[in-house]
Amino acid sequence: MRERFFKFRGRFDFSPHPYEIGQPVFQNKKLEDNAFFRNLYGLASDEYKAFYDFHLSHYLVKNPDGKEKFFRKVNKTVNRRIGFYSTKNPFGWGYAAILDKLTKLDVFREFLDTVDVWNVNTSIEKIFSQKDAEIVLLTGKLRDLQFRLDDIMKYEASEKIAIHSGDLPVFMDLLRQVQGLVLPNGKRLLTTQGFSPWYKMIAKNFVHGDKPIPLATAQNYFSSPGSSKYIFISKKDRAFDIVPVRSEG
């Protein structure tokens, strides 16, 4: 039995979906290609995708893996039909109607190129050209990333600063004090829009004893006191007080 690709209207259905094909009474499903094109010729180009997807969805119900097969069927049929019309005498009777169909078929084939993920209509030369263009683009991106990496590496230290083992809270308390310092003119010494510069700086540049400081741990020291993960520093872990220098009168 010949495989059917397109959705026919029901017999005696006089209110079909606009994309269904065929006549309401007499239907020769062996000529489904003709019925498909008869419907296509009456559509505007901005409906081609919806028309194609409508019949593709119908086909995929019974052929879930048939997306490529459906494309190849439609693509081959369109090319055959274009080839057929292209052989007609341009000076013959009725050529104006043929030219109109050829125009619509050319536009529909351009649409098919947009869904041709299998490169069915792409020549080897075009594929190589596309790949060469992609290589040039990726090479440029790689070069930019290398420049950025080189710039970042200029600020990378060869080693991290070690905090004495067991004294991480002492260090964090000092940084919290630094974070809140106010100058004699009433302005803050250091300002940031959020906490991330603090905890990322710590996790990146310091170790606790000989172990790295997890980013989440540093973040819990430098977050909102209202957070459930905020780490409060006890009195016994406060070893220093930063006080302003008082000038002698």
* Sign of the alpha-carbon torsion through 225, 226, 231, 237: positive
Question: Which amino acid is present at 211?
Answer: K
CB 32 within 8 A of CB 5: yes
The domain spans of the chain are 29-121, 161-237
- pLDDT of the chain along its 249 residues, tens only? 678 899 999 888 788 899 999 888 887 888 999 999 999 999 999 999 999 999 999 999 999 999 999 999 999 999 999 999 999 888 888 899 999 999 999 999 999 999 999 988 876 766 677 787 888 888 889 999 999 999 988 988 889 999 999 999 999 999 999 999 999 899 999 999 889 999 999 999 999 999 999 999 999 999 888 888 999 999 999 999 999 887 554
**Residue (of 41, 32, 42) closest to 8 by Cα position:** 32
pLDDT at 131: 80
Q: Would the pTM count as exceeding 0.75?
A: no
- Backbone φ and ψ for 208, nearest 5 degrees, come out as -105, 105
> What is the residue-wise DSSP string for 176-193?
HHHHT-B-TTS-BSS--S
**Residue (of 129, 128, 118) closest to 72 by Cα position:** 118
Is 63 strand, coil or helix?
A: coil
Which bin fits 233, alpha (ψ -120 to 50), beta or left (φ > 0)?
beta
| Separation in Å, CA 6 to CA 51, 185, 187 | 10, 80, 75
- Backbone φ and ψ for 8, nearest 5 degrees, come out as -85, 150
CB 6 within 8 A of CB 35: yes
Which pLDDT tens digit goes with each residue over 163-200? Answer: 999 999 999 999 999 999 999 899 999 999 889 999 99
> What is the residue-wise DSSP string for 133-183?
HHHHHHHHHHHHHHHHHHHHHTT--SSPEEEPTT-HHHHHHHHHHHHT-B-
| Alpha carbons 166 and 162: distance in angstroms, whole number | 11
CB 209 within 8 A of CB 163: yes
Q: Which two tokens stand for residue 236?
A: 């016994």
Instruction: Provide the β-strand partners of residue 211.
Output: 208
